[in-house]
Structure formats: C-alpha cells, structure tokens
Amino acid sequence: MIRMETSLRVRYAETDQMGYVYYGNYATYFEVARTDWVRSLGTPYADFEHKYGVMLPVLELRLQYHKAATYDDLITIRTEVRTRPGIRIHFHHEVVNEAGELLVTGEVVLVFIHKDTMKPCRPPAFFLEQIDQCWQES
C-alpha cells in the first residue's frame, strides 16, 4: 500500500448556499490528491500523456458523505493505492478536518488507455517500477 496526504483550505467559491462544501467538489479534491500522489512517486501526471502517450480517464467514482466541510476549513485528503495497478488503478480517499473528523470517504477507479487509440493498456513500465520500489521501502 502506498499512501500520502494532501491538505488544502476550503475556498468560499467551493461552498453552497448552506455554507457547506458543494458535494461535487470532492471529486476535484480527489483529483488534486491523485495528482499529488503520482508526483510523489517521481513523475508528474502530465508526463503520462506527453512523454508516454497514456491517459487515465475515470471509470468509477464512489463517495460517502459523513460530515460537511465548510468555508476556510483546512482539510486533508488521504490517498492510498492498496493493490498493484493493472489496466486499472484503484485510489482510496478519506477527507478529514483539522480535528481529525472523517468527512468523506471514496474510491476512484481509473483505466490506463493509449492516447492515440483510446484503447486500454498496461501501465508504463517505469510507473510500475516506481510503485514496486515504494512498496519495497515501506
């Protein structure tokens, strides 16, 4: 399992009329955390597309809301990959506030595809090597 944390402060524009984070924004928060997770392995996500011709569209998104985040809250998105990716990669997310209260849990499944053909493919070898190295170090 490889895990990391990303923190951000809730902006006013991300809240709804009730003052809570609009539910759809959690998908964006998960994307920010996934991008940070990939970068933490040593390769920016943009390199997947530009250097290796691989894209990662979202195949599934599941969220469960436990408690609302509000404007100016500092939230932390915990991101884990629990299994070695194949054609798909599963990200597990938890969002907590500064008090450590669980706000949202979710899972996002992405699929590796060739940029030119839009057909599923295996992850680039360098990426699997980075993941294997992280697992050996943990």
Residues with catalytic function = 16
- The neighbour count for residue 89, using CB atoms within 10 Å, is 21
Cβ contact 90:81 at 8 Å: yes
Burial class (CB in 10 A: 0-12, 13-18, 19+), 112: buried
Sign of CA dihedral 37, 80, 104, 28: positive
